[in-house]
Structure 1
Amino acid sequence: MRLINTTTLEIEEFLSEDKIPPFAILSHTWEEEECTLQQMQNAEASIVKERKGYQKIRKYCEQSLKDGLLWAWVDTYVGLTSFPIDKTSTAELSEAINSMFRWYQMADVCYAFLSDVSTLASLPKSRWFSRGWTLQELVAPRNVRFYNCAWKFVGSKLDLRKELHAITTIEEAVLETGKFEMISIGRRMSWAAGRQTTRIEDRAYSLMGIFDVNMPLLYGEGHKAFTRLQEEIMKISDDQSLFAWGLPAEIKTVHEFRDNLAGLSVDGMRGIFAESPDEFKFSERIHVLQDLRFSIPPIVSNNGVRIELQVYRPTGHRIQFAALYCTIHGNYRYFLGFPIIRWAGRWVARYGELVMIPVRALVDASSETPYTNPEVLLLKAPIVLPKEREPLNSIRLGWITGTHDKEYKMEVHCAKHAAYSERTRALTLTQNVDTIHAAFIFSRMEIDPTTLFDGLKRPGPKRGHDDEVWHKSSFVITAKAYNSSHRYTAAFPTFAILVGGPIASPWVEIIVVLDDHDSGVQFQKLHTVKEQPIQRCTEKAKLLALLEDDTNIGPLGGKRVQANEQVIMLWEEAQASRFGLIKKTGQGRLSVRTQLQMMSTNLVEKGLILFVTIAPPGHWAHEVKLRWW
């Protein structure tokens, strides 16, 4: 540390802080004709003594001597021209800036020279309050004394604490005691809002002491310096008001934000860090909460910031909301949070201003705490606006699953604008039109009644098998157990799954398909067995004719749904009494369930997938959700 001898104006270096004598320190703003270290070392030259900067240093040293201090330190302009810092030494410049807050704390007195102030009334308009470096020079020293342009005493920091609070918004308690460790990160950032520095990087470097962090100086990095500052703060503090920037003067709820959202743009998509202290302007309204869930501390990497936050997901909306462990004064039933947009399947980006998230949106009334489990988010700003992947103009048939899926054979019939590939199991559309695209027709393969009923045993080779089949092409089997009064009936009509509609709003429907030549008899027979399967049925020829029709055709039942379920097989067991009365002793059902779902079809693309499951109705609860892989 280099100090000026206030008597001789010569410079002496002290290598150890233990050897540093009592000293004064100067706080001022850059003006014309400041003196560099090299110029002060040649101060005998008359041209140097005529500089305004030299006269300022001389007056400063005279005041120090009056107060009994033989040594003084002055920073003419950190990062550009410094005295007594050697600007030609990058290492010395970095050391001085990283040490400066501590040096201001160590000083016996700090003289704040206000070159544009003549009276106390002009104090609020002083340029000194708009500069970045003077913030730490006001907060750090225990004793700050203000002098006007003529080096006349204006008042001390303690005397002027009310005026200083009105000008800077810094709490009076901080001005009185110099203690600010309990002040939130966001609130401290707000002290620097509106302050300027000649070099962009100094907006960050001038705040290192306020947050008790150190980092190397990289002039030329621009706004990245402020990002690095926030990363360093994040490493030592769990105060999430660091992320509570962008608080508007009139804060909205999540619903008000969504109602007023005009559209998405890449300019509005950000990472988790602010670009400057200005974005913390209204942070005095923020109340920091304790993280009761003990979330894992956030981690910075080249992939973004990994952080655990509570997330509110409104249904049917791309915008979601991440809740910080902060609230807003006067609205303690709300978390403070920010909108997020998921992009590229991995990251999320912050979008827009801070909003209020109601606690009830995250937890229900039965919760023992007003917190829910946090989610891991990877926050990173996209380089370009992430677009939703355009879905493929096709519908792929997923693997047919269930307990009876192997007992059916399938044939596919397509409309003119569609084609089905057995190899890829994909129905490709040449036109994205709102009509029927294809019919997947399922017919039961050869059926053995003994596979349906436990009581129907296949007899030995010499004992006949008393089965009665109504028609060889029919879907109804009647059987009588050998040497028993038990009778069995099974109905298993052919059925079709119809798909149609535009890719953005498709529909699926299940109908029973009757034989073209025997439809009347089949209808009556099916109606006799059970009414439920005949809610929607048609002849096969009529169904194929619909596929040839060029007009827009919707679901035959009128309902546009993306999931459908239908009973497609029934079997019953009955017993005849000795009086000829028939008593039902058991029954079974088989259903087909279909669902059209937009999802990834491979590692890159997404499209519609038609899922088909054939199983008893109670099987759905145990169904495993399928993926393309």
Structure 2
Amino acid sequence: MRLINTSTLKLEEFGPQNIPPYAILSHRWIEGQEVSFEEMRQSPPRGKSGYAKIKQCCELAKKEGLTFAWGRFHHRGVLNLSKVSIAERMSWASQRQTSREEDMSYSLLGIFRINMNLLYGEGGGEAFRRLQEEIIKTSNDNSIFAWNQIETRSPARLSALATTLSQFAQSSRIPVIPAGPTWPTTLTNEAINVRLVFKEIRGRRYGIIKSDSLHSLWDYAIPLEEISPNTYVRLRGQVLVMKSRRFYDAPAWKVW
């Protein structure tokens, strides 16, 4: 990950295991005034308004005690992260270690294109929950639910959302699972509403995350328990990968 040193205004590169805390420059580029990665690396365009914004961001970050800042640069070539699933992007950081537990989540804001407040002291679990909720608000990719919890010391009943990045360690091959406009996944103060198809597998009930794509080859089944009509909790256990079938029991809205 490349960050701007707030004192030197030079780019510095960090591996996934040692990303420091950083400020985020939230802005929109003005036509013709954008700063490219190549310019920032070789000869900063001091006459552009975009560069002035970067300097101002760095000055504010220094006052807050931050040594680095991040800004989305204009690239001549674009990495299309929309083709990489949420689950796979989570897996990239699943082995990461940070000195501040909240930075496990804060360091991912860039690759998910999320803006949220940095609240040091809230704890790593709360920061990760907020990150996932913000992702759900802006993405229609249901692969965010394709994480595993097989640790026997964990509670039998789990949240719909992962509690740690390590739960995505085995999710590097999960593709984008688009919910689509017909059955969007929505978030409320009490629950997550998601389209599921139910199936009994080996005497256990699973909710199958269905893709709207007719070309999807695989479905992903999550262990569930019904705790009240139309209300389910996730159970400890692995996500099952199944050959996709076009015809299951009638799909329905269910609430986690």
Could you tell me the TM-score, scaled by structure 2's length?
0.67
CA shift, 1:346, in A, is 5.9
Q: 1:358 & 1:293 partners in 2: Cα distance?
A: 24
Kindly indicate whether residue 78 of structure 2 is the aligned counterpart of residue 201 of structure 1. Answer: no
Which structure 2 residues correspond to residues 348-363 of structure 1 after superposition, within 5 A?
A: 348-351=232-235, 352-357=237-242, 359=244
Q: 2:88 & 2:130 partners in 1: Cα distance?
A: 19
RMSD: 4.0
Q: Deviations over 1:284-329 (max 9, x none)?
A: 322334446821432231x2222221111469x4x31111135xxx
Unaligned runs of at least 5 residues, structure 2: 19-40, 52-58
Which structure 2 residues correspond to residues 129-168 of structure 1 after superposition, within 5 A?
A: none
CA shift, 1:344, in A, is 4.9
One-letter code of the match for 2:129? T
SS in 2 for 1:288: coil
Corresponding residue to 1:230 among 132, 154, 158: 132
Q: Deviations over 1:605-628 (max 9, x none)?
A: xxxxxxxxxxxxxxxxxxxxxxxx
Q: 2:255 & 2:11 partners in 1: Cα distance?
A: 45
Corresponding residue to 1:339 among 200, 223, 228: 223
CA shift, 1:235, in A, is 0.6
Q: Deviations over 1:166-214 (max 9, x none)?
A: xxxxxxxxxx853323211111111111011111111111111111111
Corresponding residue to 1:288 among 159, 169, 176: 176
SS in 2 for 1:209: helix
Which structure 2 residues correspond to residues 259-408 of structure 1 after superposition, within 5 A?
A: 267-291=155-179, 294-301=182-189, 303-313=190-200, 317=203, 319-325=204-210, 332=217, 334-344=218-228, 347-351=231-235, 352-357=237-242, 359=244, 369-370=246-247, 372-379=249-256
CA separation of 1:359/1:220 partners in 2, compared to 1, >3 Å: closer, same or farther?
same
Q: Deviations over 1:427-450 (max 9, x none)?
A: xxxxxxxxxxxxxxxxxxxxxxxx
Q: 1:70 & 1:289 partners in 2: Cα distance?
A: 41
Q: 1:28 & 1:359 partners in 2: Cα distance?
A: 40
Percent identity of equivalent pairs = 27
Q: 2:153 & 2:191 partners in 1: Cα distance?
A: 20
CA separation of 1:101/1:276 partners in 2, compared to 1, >3 Å: closer, same or farther?
farther
Which structure 2 residues correspond to residues 396-475 of structure 1 after superposition, within 5 A?
A: none
Q: 2:206 & 2:100 partners in 1: Cα distance?
A: 35
CA shift, 1:83, in A, is 9.7
CA shift, 1:101, in A, is 4.0
Q: 1:246 & 1:192 partners in 2: Cα distance?
A: 15
Larger Rg: 1
One-letter code of the match for 2:192? V
CA shift, 1:216, in A, is 1.2
SS in 2 for 1:287: coil
CA separation of 1:265/1:340 partners in 2, compared to 1, >3 Å: closer, same or farther?
farther
Q: Deviations over 1:245-294 (max 9, x none)?
A: 1288xxxxxxxxxxxxxxx9871311111122222223232233444682
SS in 2 for 1:279: helix
Unaligned runs of at least 5 residues, structure 1: 7-22, 32-65, 73-81, 107-141, 144-175, 249-263, 361-368, 380-629
Asked if the contact 1:271–1:349 (Cα under 8 Å) also holds between the matched residues in 2, the reply is: yes
Kindly indicate whether residue 116 of structure 2 is the aligned counterpart of residue 215 of structure 1. Answer: yes
Asked if the contact 2:105–2:128 (Cα under 8 Å) also holds between the matched residues in 1, the reply is: yes
Corresponding residue to 1:86 among 54, 63, 74: 63
CA shift, 1:336, in A, is 0.9
CA separation of 1:28/1:308 partners in 2, compared to 1, >3 Å: closer, same or farther?
closer
Larger RCO, structures 1/2 (Cα 8 Å, 6+ apart): 2
Q: 1:67 & 1:346 partners in 2: Cα distance?
A: 58
SS in 2 for 1:322: strand
CA separation of 1:378/1:186 partners in 2, compared to 1, >3 Å: closer, same or farther?
same
Could you tell me the TM-score, scaled by structure 1's length?
0.30
For 1:452, the equivalent position in structure 2 comes to none
For 1:523, the equivalent position in structure 2 comes to none
SS in 2 for 1:210: helix
CA separation of 1:28/1:357 partners in 2, compared to 1, >3 Å: closer, same or farther?
closer
For 1:185, the equivalent position in structure 2 comes to 86
Asked if the contact 1:2–1:85 (Cα under 8 Å) also holds between the matched residues in 2, the reply is: no
For 1:24, the equivalent position in structure 2 comes to 10
One-letter code of the match for 1:27? E
Asked if the contact 1:288–1:325 (Cα under 8 Å) also holds between the matched residues in 2, the reply is: no
Q: 1:346 & 1:290 partners in 2: Cα distance?
A: 22
> Number of paired residues?
213
Q: Deviations over 1:366-394 (max 9, x none)?
A: xxx44654222221xxxxxxxxxxxxxxx
Q: 2:101 & 2:144 partners in 1: Cα distance?
A: 20
CA separation of 1:374/1:284 partners in 2, compared to 1, >3 Å: closer, same or farther?
same
Q: 2:209 & 2:105 partners in 1: Cα distance?
A: 24
CA separation of 1:241/1:321 partners in 2, compared to 1, >3 Å: closer, same or farther?
same
SS in 1 for 2:197: strand
